[in-house]
Chain A
Amino acid sequence: SQELEQSPQSLIVQEGKNLTINCTSSKTLYGLYWYKQKYGEGLIFLMMLQKGGEEKSHEKITAKLDEKKQQSSLHITASQPSHAGIYLCGAAGRGGADGLTFGKGTHLIIQP
């Protein structure tokens, strides 16, 4: 079965600094999703990447997919307190009918 490893597991960043979260898959990626979860709440969809080399941005968050490395990265520029939470990457299997496999998540804390 597919496994996703996220790094780092937790991250403390000073407000205004940039940061990067990585997600590496043990198998070929057919679709990579990034979600954010506030503590005790549901998941908020951020971005979906499907093609190798694809890069998407939303406000100060950019995600890239490196198909050859079976890896995706999430980069936040000029971090703000609102960016704090748990970031989860999820991957679809081939054919997609088996739902998404998720990484364990990266806990992001923003220090004022």
Chain B
Amino acid sequence: GAGVSQSPSNKVTEKGKDVELRCDPISGHTALYWYRQSLGQGLEFLIYFQGNSAPDKSGLPSDRFSAERTGGSVSTLTIQRTQQEDSAVYLCASSSRGWSYEQYFGPGTRLTVT
């Protein structure tokens, strides 16, 4: 079956604009994760959804970041009033149940804030 897909693959935006990044997990996977990968920070955990439970937002870097997951499937990560330091590759991953099961990653969205 299809793997994790993300859109857009590349996004260039002006500083101060809002952006939405989309993730389609593997069908049937209940857990969904967002990570950010940048040169200086490596790969950082942002937020985790498990089924219908309230998400774990402990990794979100600021209140400009938010995420939702509709119907337990597709997720969107929204960054408001983007800053240059938000430039990074945003990766989404899903797993069949939770953290103890392997996470399958999407190809990522490369965000560039000018």
Q: Give A contacts to B, CB under 8 Å.
A: 31, 33, 35, 41-45, 48, 50, 88, 90, 92, 96-105
Q: Which chain B residues border A48 with CB–CB below 8 Å?
A: 102
Residues on B with C-beta less than 8 A from A43 are: 91, 93, 105
Please report the C-alpha to C-alpha distance between residue A88 and residue B46 in the assembled complex, in whole angstroms: 17
Which B residues, 54 to 83, have Cβ-Cβ distances below 8 Å to chain A?
A: 56, 58-59
Q: Which positions in B face A, CB cutoff 8 Å? A: 4, 33, 35, 42-48, 50, 56, 58-59, 91, 93, 98-100, 102-108
A33-B102, A48-B102 in contact; A105/B56 too (CB < 8 A)?
A: no
Q: Tell me whether A88 and B107 are in contact (CB under 8 A).
A: no
**B43 near A102: Cβ-Cβ < 8 Å:** yes
- Of the candidates B44, B103, B106, the one whose C-beta lies within 8 Å of that of A45 is B103
Question: In whole angstroms, what is the CA distance A100 to B103 when docked?
Answer: 9
A residues in contact with B45, CB < 8 Å: 98-101
Q: Are A96 and B103 in contact (CB under 8 A)?
A: no
